[in-house]
Structure formats: structure tokens, C-alpha cells
Structure 1
Amino acid sequence: MPEDVEYLHCVQAVLDDDGLRYQVLDSAGALRERLVWPIRPLPTQRWRTVPGGESPALFMGKLGPGRLLAFRWTGRAAATGTSVAQTLLAAYAPHTLAPFWIGVQGPRQTLTAIIGTAPGRSPHYWHGPGFEAGARFDLHILVSADMGPGGLLYRFGDRDPWSSLVAASATGPERLEWPERWSVGHGQGGPADRRFLGADLTALAAC
């Protein structure tokens, strides 16, 4: 692991009727990672519609301990043969490269998230399943700053179990400073930038 990430640690864990809880402490006693499972759903009143196109972000700054940021998109995936990158959401500030992007790309329309937190360093990629071409979808994404690289989770619909997106990264979204603008359905470069090529895209967010 990179020098600024690797650390000596111990894990404290509890498994009981309420589920699984654990925390990871470093050699100075600082809490570095933690998890409460199953994840409790965010209250209904926290959910807000995110309009298509560019809009002010509903959350800015770093996610604090125990905080979750949730997204939900519904729509119809692009037709068979579509392989270009398509944006579900980009989070960015003007005149800077978006530090967070999530969408689909490749011939399987593979769910992909990109996080870049260090200027001049390559971003990190997370991957999930592919979308069925032309089919309707109901995608849920949960962002947690407590779970390290496992802190980007997905499921389809309300009843599916949560799973972490797969990444070759030693860190997760805990270092991400969420910027001031969001864009749904296209990238930060405007309507022609990695636009969503399916139909009926809607977005919700809660924090």
C-alpha cells in the first residue's frame, strides 16, 4: 500500500442480533474505518430531486464520520452497440477537472465511478455490473467515508442487497472534497460531454 495510506492497526468487531459493527484503530488510537451493517436507510424527508443538467450541489465539503450520501437514478439504458462513456452524475467546480464522476462506459455499459483527489495524480476507478441494453434500471449508489475503498456501494431496486463497487485503490471517498456543482445526464463540459444516451433519466439524492 502507498506510504501515506498503510498503517498498523487493530480491529474491534461485534456481531449480535443488531448485525455487524466494527472499527479500525491505528497505532495512535485514531479511528480510521468503521462499518455498521446492515446499513440503515436514510429518512424519506432527506431525499431531493436533482434536476437534469447543471445545478448547485446538494452537498459540499467532506463527508464526516457516520455520514452517508445516497443517489438514485431511474431510466432506460442506451441501445445495443453503445460503448461510449455516459454520465449519470459529475461533481465539479468551474475550470477544474471533476473530482467525482459516475456513469457507464464500454460495450457492456459497465457501471463506473471515478474519483480524483490529488492534482497531478491519476484518478482511481471503481467498477460494477453492466446495464442491460435498452432495459429500464433503478440504480442506488451509497457513498460512505467510513469504509475506505469499499465505501462506494450499489444495488438495483429497494430489495437488492448492497455490494461495494470493485476497485484497485487503497483509499475511498473519505478524502473527496465534494465541489459546488453537479451535472446529471452529461459531463462538466456541457450537454455534448459524455451525455447519457438512454431515456427518461431521473435523479434523486439524500445526505
Structure 2
Amino acid sequence: MKVTSSDIVISAVKPEQYPAEPIPEFALAGRSNVGKSSFINKMINRKNLARTSSKPGKTQTLNFYIINDMLHFVDVPGYGYAKVSKSERAAWGKMIETYFTSREQLRAALLIVDLRHPPTRDDISMYEFLKHYELPLMVIATKADKIPKGKWQKHLKIARETLGMDKQDEIFLFSSETGEGKDKIWGALKKYM
């Protein structure tokens, strides 16, 4: 898809703050520091629309990005970051669960994992949570440029097996450095629009 316009719409913490437009939404879930912001920026050809940070745990709200006035990417707070208090984590959990379980515009979740490492216990929990609520999902394995091409399939297999992925769920290689996987992912997203 050719992206001609993109912007952040709102950072929301409760349903009454969500954008009113009845357009498809794709939620990005993943560990803190897995590359969700870099993924968004590469997908929309912008350098810094989604703020990247070397400090994990920066995203503490649901950040809605509008793309071509026809869809939203929704960046949800990263999980698995230790320096956040238990009460704060519980609040994020509630906010994320409310969004995932009640948002009619939500078409699919994009679970972002790091191709270099087997998915974490938190990644597995998020996958199971999305499956429990029967949400369509895709797994995006980032940082593909950090692994030799000849080992991609091996790493994808480890990710698929560790998550216990259903056969019909798709997993995509992605690199925010090279753009690997970008066109395939846009093609897959189109099916939900």
C-alpha cells in the first residue's frame, strides 16, 4: 500500500477517548523494546512519527495513528518491562484488555516478536490472550536484518513452535532497517479492510 498521509490522532486510556471514525484498526502488541515504533515508522515511510526510545516502557497509553484516512494502527503499551510498578502494570493490563475485548473497529492484532530470540513467556501469554478472545492475529518477527538469511526459516519455526501457533495464523519476517516483509504485511492487512 502506498502511504500518502499519516499522523497521530490521540493517546487514549479509556474508551470514551478512542477515535469515533468507523475505520479498521490494527493493534500492535509486543514486549517493551521489541520494535513496535520502528515497525510503525517503516510501514508508513516516516522517520519519527511513532517515537522510538532506548528506554523500554515509554508507551503508557493506546496511541492511535491514522494512515491515508482509511485505517488506524494502535500501539499498545509494551509488556514484560520490570521497572514498572505492579499497580501500573495492572492498570495497563485493564486498559489493554478493555480495548481488545470491546473495540468494534479492531480487525486484527499484530503480535510483534524479536526474531533473534525465542518468544518469551509474556509473548506466549499475549498470543493465548488474543486466541482466547478469538481475535484475528498475525505474528511479526522483527529484526530480521540481524540474522543471516539462511537462518530465517529456522528462527521462524522456533517462534511458531514456542508460541504454539495455529496452522492458519500467519507469521511474517520484518526488518525496519531493510523494509523486508513490508509489502507482504500490507497485503495481509488488506484482507481485513
Mark yes or no: TM-score above 0.5: no
TM-score with structure 2 setting the length: 0.28
Q: Larger radius of gyration, structure 1 or 2?
A: 1
Please report the TM-score for the alignment, with normalisation by the length of structure 1.
0.26
Between structures 1 and 2, the one with greater helix share: 2
